[in-house]
Amino acid sequence: MTKRTRSVALLVSLTALAAFSLAALARNLTSAQGPGDQQDANLLGTSAREQGQQYEVTITNLTRGQQFTPILVASHREGVSLFKLGEPVSPQLATLAEEGNTAPLAALLSGMPAVRDVVSGSGLTDPGKSVTLTFEATGAFDHFSVAAMLIPTNDAFFAINGVELPRGNNSLTLFSPAYDAGSERNDELCASIPGPSFTECGGPGGGGAPTGGEEGFAHIHAGIHGIGNLMPARRDWRNPVARIIVRRMR
């Protein structure tokens, strides 16, 4: 065997030895990784897959004499609906429309597998003012809904009901009329309407629910007609009552 041949043979042997050593090291590292480490890796992978996109929604009050109660926003799959016109509303939506309380509806939505995120604002939105909320959506959870009560009314609310979110860097502008939940009679009396101090009431509304006379189904609200304490010149409106602009933040 020549000197050159011996050198080539030695190089091949060293290369094979290095490959064997690296393979053995890899096996040792894998065997040293316990079930907990593998579980952590799986969780990290799951977390990365489930990380959602941040969206921003801005709601503007377009009325002259109505305020919006705290606003609820939810992201969800296609098919989730807050209500259907011509049908009775859920007790949870009725509570939002009559009292401005988002908690029961938020709890209902949060317990649904088809819902990704639920966010509720705080405070009142005055005429001509806007409020901005952020929420998450991802994958098949690519629709959103919005709802809040109009005060002073018996059970008026505005809503965006299961609309597809914009894609990419586009924004989406929507307008909502005022809906009537049909869950409370529209007596327009201070004793029946919750809320802060109203001019017509000489103080906060009473918030009591009148018995009987409700329509029993959701419909477009007919406005304020002066049959009780509320003054149409101050409290009535023309639709739409809310502008909603939604866009993806990142």
136 near 75, Cβ under 8 Å?
yes
- Are 103 and 210 contained in the same domain? yes
How many Cα atoms within 13 Å fall on the side-chain side of residue 211?
0
Crossing angle for the helix pair 103-110 and 91-99, nearest 10 degrees? Answer: 150
Q: Compute the mean pLDDT over every residue in the chain, rounded to the nearest whole number.
A: 84
Residue 107, domain CATH: 2.60.40.2130
Q: By residue range, what is the domain housing residue 31? A: 3-49
- In single-letter form, the type of residue at position 150 comes to L
- Number of domains observed in the structure of the chain: 2
Identify whether residues 88 and 161 lie together within a single domain. Answer: yes
Task: Note the pLDDT tens digit of each residue in 81-115.
Answer: 999 999 999 999 999 999 999 999 999 999 999 99
Beta bridge partners of 156: 180
Are 224 and 236 within 8 A, CB to CB?
A: yes
d(Cα 135, Cα 75) in Å, to the nearest integer? 7
Classified as helix, coil or strand, 163 is strand
Same domain? 16 vs 140:
no
Bridging pattern class, strands 67-68 and 115-120: unpaired
Share of the chain above pLDDT 90, in %: 71
- Which of 15-29, 59-73, 117-131, 222-236 shows the lowest per-residue confidence on average (mean pLDDT)? 15-29
Whether 188 and 71 share a structural domain: yes
**Predicted pLDDT at 50:** 60
